Amino acid sequence: MFIRRLTVATATLALAGAGLTAAAHTAQAATSVPRFDHIVLVMFENKANSQITSSSAPYFQSLAMQGASFSQSYAITHPSQPNYIALFSGSTQGVTSDACPKTFSGNNLGAQLIGAGLTFKGYSESMPSDGYTGCSSGRYQRKHNSWVDFSNVPAASNLTYASFPDSSNYASLPTVAFVTPNMCNDMHDCSISTGNTWLRNNLDAYAQWAKTNNSLLIVNFDEDNSLSLNHIYTTFVGAHVKTGTYSSKITHYTVLRTIESAYGLSALGSAAGVSPITDVWN
Q: What is the pLDDT of residue 38?
A: 99
In contact, 52 and 192? CB cutoff 8 Å: yes
The β-bridge relationship of strands 235-238 and 68-70 is: antiparallel
In contact, 240 and 281? CB cutoff 8 Å: yes
How large is the C-alpha radius of gyration of the chain?
Answer: 20
What's the rounded Cα separation, in Å, for the pair 202 and 249?
29
DSSP per-residue letters across the chain:
-HHHHHHHHHHHHHHHHTT--HHHHHHHHHT-----SEEEEEEE-S--GGGS-TTT-HHHHHHHHHSEEETTEE--SSSHHHHHHHHHHSS-TT--SSSPPPPB-S--HHHHHHHTT--EEEEETT-SSTT---SEETTEEGGG--GGGBTTS-GGGEEEGGGS--TT-GGGS-SEEEEE--TTTTSSSS-HHHHHHHHHHHHHHHHHHHHTTTEEEEEEES---SSSTTEE--EEEETTBPPEEE-S-EEHHHHHHHHHHHTTPPPPGGGGGSPPP-TTB-
pLDDT category at 2 given cuts 50, 70, 90 is very low
pLDDT category at 39 given cuts 50, 70, 90 is very high
Q: What is the pLDDT of residue 12?
A: 37
Q: Round the average pLDDT of the chain to a whole number and report it.
A: 91
Burial 134-145 (b: 16+ CB within 10 A, else e): eeeeebbbbbbb
What does the pLDDT look like over 112-156, one tens digit per residue?
Answer: 999 999 999 999 999 999 999 999 999 999 999 999 999 999 999
Express as a percent the part of the chain with pLDDT over 90. 89
Q: What is the pLDDT of residue 228?
A: 97
Q: What is the pLDDT of residue 146?
A: 98
Q: What is the mean pLDDT of residues 22-49?
A: 77
| Residue 205 to residues 217, 226, 237, Cα–Cα distance (Å) | 11, 32, 12
CATH 3.40.720.10 location in the chain: 34-273
In this structure, the number of other CB atoms found within 10 A of the CB of residue 277 comes to 21
Q: Which amino acid is at 114?
A: I
Q: What is the pLDDT of residue 28?
A: 37
pLDDT category at 13 given cuts 50, 70, 90 is very low
Q: Is the pLDDT of residue 19 over 50?
A: no
Q: Is the pLDDT of residue 26 over 50?
A: no
Q: Select from 3.40.720.10, 3.30.2040.10, 3.30.200.20, 3.90.550.10 the CATH code of 34-273.
A: 3.40.720.10
What's the rounded Cα separation, in Å, for the pair 232 and 105?
29
pLDDT category at 59 given cuts 50, 70, 90 is very high
In contact, 279 and 237? CB cutoff 8 Å: no
What does the pLDDT look like over 179-205, one tens digit per residue?
Answer: 999 999 999 999 999 999 999 999 999
pLDDT category at 5 given cuts 50, 70, 90 is very low
Chain-centre distance for alpha carbon 123: 14
Q: What is the pLDDT of residue 30?
A: 45
What's the rounded Cα separation, in Å, for the pair 257 and 47?
23
Phi and psi dihedrals of 60, rounded to 5?
Answer: -55, -45
pLDDT category at 157 given cuts 50, 70, 90 is very high
Q: What is the mean pLDDT of residues 223-239?
A: 98
Q: What is the mean pLDDT of residues 162-171?
A: 97
